[in-house]
Amino acid sequence: MTLTPETQATLLQQARAVLDLNWTGGFTKPALRQYPHQWSWDSAFIALGYARYDQARAEQELRSLFAAQWADGRVPHIVFHDADPAAPYFPGPGFWQIERSPDAPAGRHTSGIVQPPIHATAVLHIVRCAPDRQRTLDFVAEIFPRLAAWHHFLYLRRDPRRENLVYICHPWESGQDNSPLWDAILTRMTLQPQQIPPYRRADTRAVHPDERPLDFDYDRYVYLADFFRQRDYDQARIFTDGCPFLVQDVLFNTLLCQAEQDMAALARLIGTDPDPFTARAAATAAAIEAKLWDEARGMYVNFDLVAGATTPVPALAGFAPLFAGIPDAIRARRLVAYLASPSFGLAPHEPALYPAASYDRLAPGYSPRRYWRGPVWIQMNWLIMHGLARCGFGDHAARLAAAIIALPAIGGFREYFDPETGAGCGAEDFSWTAALLINLLLDDALAHADE
Ligand code: DGY
């Protein structure tokens, strides 16, 4: 579907209205009722939208997130701001109790885990879109040490065997909470009722339970969060004390690799040595190539450190290395052939009807409306689209961009979409859907001038 200029202008206006609705003056809520605080990778994607038309807000979005950074460099996956009684959230600050850790930021309420590191990439994007370069360089100088500390935390604390691949320890850290990627691990976790702290879900009040994770998954999310809390968020203890979930995740490591490439570009801008960042990006790319490529399936897969084996699950995240320019030409062609098959539906000769599903539509367990078990996510498709363009598949990228832009016109500014019908699912008025639509609609030569 190609949209007329008038429809595009209307969509742009609507997208800005969504961000205005969710903007608090200091940061942007992902969605007013479902996610009423600040989320780490949401803020980065949201900044990619603001970068196109409001530099001050783009900077403030990331500044406010990094203001809650921990002393050890970790950037928490949620920063809790003033609670809205009409929008309860679980698990809140009373559950996390981050004050148990000597590294927690004083007087701030956050979670104790992290989310994918796409922040340096967002900062470089802000620079490239900036109308006021001098002001932006001041912002880069301010945030650069915080970004460096964040990446240092990941390589120091999450890569104990020095493989240049970092691990995640909770499905929430992947951003893809109930993806089939985690099924084998979560099923392996046999828990007694007394091991699960009592809790009440808040996530099925505003969104239909059919579109959210099952209680089975939630019990394990809560168990893991409690496991970290009991160890005062000490990374070494969590790793050595039998944490049942330790995964070298494809998407997380790909975004870290790209973020390191982008740190090198930022370092050059402010006259700092880019070489350590370039070297670490190359080392992580090489480790992804060596350890996470699945030759039989023609895609990248996660490595489960507890089982000591890969988990060959066909999720869209398995194509993410295109985004960081990691695969060679042969592997890239295999990835694109799989993406173009009915499994993901980015067919070569016609405009893609809808963007790619988050999980192979022909695989067992595919569920078109249940959160990460099938629905289309705009931010994943935005990453894949850039990856296709970067790796020489410009036609595929252009078709996918058109399909992404058309989706909110069909399904609204929703959190995710049914890949069979385009119908919107999950939270309404979702910030990164709006922000990435703006990012695409206002993509122009200026933004790429110094790429
Ligand atoms: C949620 O609240 O469902 C988030 O995905 C966890 O961060």
CATH of the domain at 179: 1.50.10.10
pLDDT tier at 447 (50, 70, 90 boundaries)? Answer: very low
Structure tokens at 304: 């489960």
> Average pLDDT, stretch 312-329?
98
Q: Which atom of ligand 1 lies closest to the CA of 39?
A: 7
415 given a catalytic annotation: yes
pLDDT tens, residue by residue, 240-292: 999 999 999 999 999 999 999 999 999 999 999 999 999 999 999 999 999 99
φ, ψ at 417 (rounded to 5°): -140, 145
What value does the mean pLDDT of the chain take?
95
Q: Is 42 in the pocket of ligand 1 (CB under 6 A)?
A: no
Structure tokens at 67: 């203001």
Per-residue model confidence (pLDDT) at position 133: 79
User: 113, 228 in Cβ contact below 8 A?
Assistant: yes
pTM (2 d.p.): 0.97
Does residue 450 belong to any structural domain of this protein? no
Q: Give the contacts of 117 (CB within 8 A, at least 6 positions apart).
A: 75, 150, 151, 154, 252, 255, 256, 259
pLDDT tens, residue by residue, 419-443: 999 999 999 999 999 999 999 999 8
Protein residue whose Cα sits closest to atom 3 of ligand 1: 203
Protein residue whose Cα sits closest to atom 4 of ligand 1: 172
Q: Which atom of ligand 1 lies closest to the CA of 111?
A: 7
User: Ligand 1: distance of its center to the CA of 361 in Å?
Assistant: 24
Per-residue model confidence (pLDDT) at position 446: 33
Per-residue model confidence (pLDDT) at position 254: 99
Does residue 87 belong to any structural domain of this protein? yes
Catalytic residue among 177, 260, 262, 418: 177
> Average pLDDT, stretch 3-21?
95
Structure tokens at 357: 């599903």
Per-residue model confidence (pLDDT) at position 449: 35
User: Ligand 1: distance of its center to the CA of 430 in Å?
Assistant: 14
Does residue 451 belong to any structural domain of this protein? no
Name the residue range of residue 51's domain.
5-445
177 given a catalytic annotation: yes
Q: Give the contacts of 217 (CB within 8 A, at least 6 positions apart).
A: 171, 177, 178, 182, 186
pLDDT tens, residue by residue, 158-194: 999 999 999 999 999 999 999 999 999 999 999 999 9
User: 175, 416 in Cβ contact below 8 A?
Assistant: no
Structure tokens at 248: 């070298």
Q: How many angstroms separate the first and last alpha carbons of the chain? A: 30
Q: Which amino acid is at 424?
A: G
Q: Is 249 in the pocket of ligand 1 (CB under 6 A)?
A: no
Per-residue model confidence (pLDDT) at position 237: 98
> Average pLDDT, stretch 205-213?
96
Q: Which atom of ligand 1 lies closest to the CA of 175?
A: 5
Please name which of 112, 115, 95 lies closest in space to residue 40, comparing C-alpha atoms.
115
Please name which of 186, 188, 162 lies closest in space to residue 176, comparing C-alpha atoms.
186
pLDDT tier at 30 (50, 70, 90 boundaries)? Answer: very high
DSSP lists the bridge partners of residue 35 as: 31
User: Ligand 1: distance of its center to the CA of 172 in Å?
Assistant: 6
Q: Is 203 in the pocket of ligand 1 (CB under 6 A)?
A: yes
Q: Is the pLDDT of residue 116 over 50?
A: yes
User: Ligand 1: distance of its center to the CA of 377 in Å?
Assistant: 15
Q: Which atom of ligand 1 lies closest to the CA of 221?
A: 6
Site to probe by mutation for ligand 1, drawn from 114, 203, 221 as the one with most ligand atoms within 8 Å of Cβ, is 203
What span, in angstroms and rounded, lies between the C-alpha atoms of 84 and 255? Answer: 32
Which residue, chain included where needed, has tokens 């592997």?
331
Per-residue model confidence (pLDDT) at position 84: 87
User: In 3-state terms, what secondary structure has residue 28?
Assistant: strand
User: Ligand 1: distance of its center to the CA of 245 in Å?
Assistant: 17
User: Ligand 1: distance of its center to the CA of 12 in Å?
Assistant: 27
Per-residue model confidence (pLDDT) at position 228: 98
pLDDT tens, residue by residue, 66-90: 999 999 999 999 999 988 888 999 9
pLDDT tens, residue by residue, 299-320: 999 999 999 999 999 999 999 9
What span, in angstroms and rounded, lies between the C-alpha atoms of 45 and 58? Answer: 10
Protein residue whose Cα sits closest to atom 6 of ligand 1: 172
Domain count, the chain: 1
Q: Is 211 in the pocket of ligand 1 (CB under 6 A)?
A: no
> Average pLDDT, stretch 351-363?
90
What span, in angstroms and rounded, lies between the C-alpha atoms of 430 and 374? Answer: 18
